[in-house]
């Protein structure tokens, strides 16, 4: 079995999270939503970005 942090499924999930989170944060800010909703969406995007970066850092460590 592969480690879940190095699975290609994690990269796809991370990309979807980062795009959806960052777009959601911009959309929420433009709609005048509360700061917690904007920060929550932005946090989701940052978490997705961390997942993607950790995958590629892990790939370089394996070689």
Domain boundaries, the chain: 7-62
Cα 57 from Cα 6, distance rounded (Å): 10
pTM of this structure: 0.76
Predicted pLDDT of residue 62: 64
The answer to whether residue 47 scores a pLDDT higher than 90 is yes
> Helix 8-31 crosses helix 35-62 at what angle (to 10 degrees)?
160
Whole-number percent of the chain with pLDDT over 70: 86
pLDDT band, residue 37 (cuts 50/70/90): very high
15-36 b/e (C-beta count within 10 Å ≥ 16 → b): eebbeebbebbeebeeeeeeee
């Amino acid at each position: 079995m592969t480690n879940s942090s190095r699975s290609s499924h994690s990269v796809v999930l991370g990309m979807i999270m980062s795009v959806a989170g960052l777009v959601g944060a911009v959309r929420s800010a433009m709609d005048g939503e509360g700061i917690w909703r904007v920060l929550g969406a932005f946090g989701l995007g940052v978490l997705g970005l961390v997942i993607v970066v950790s995958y590629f850092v892990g790939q370089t460590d394996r070689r």
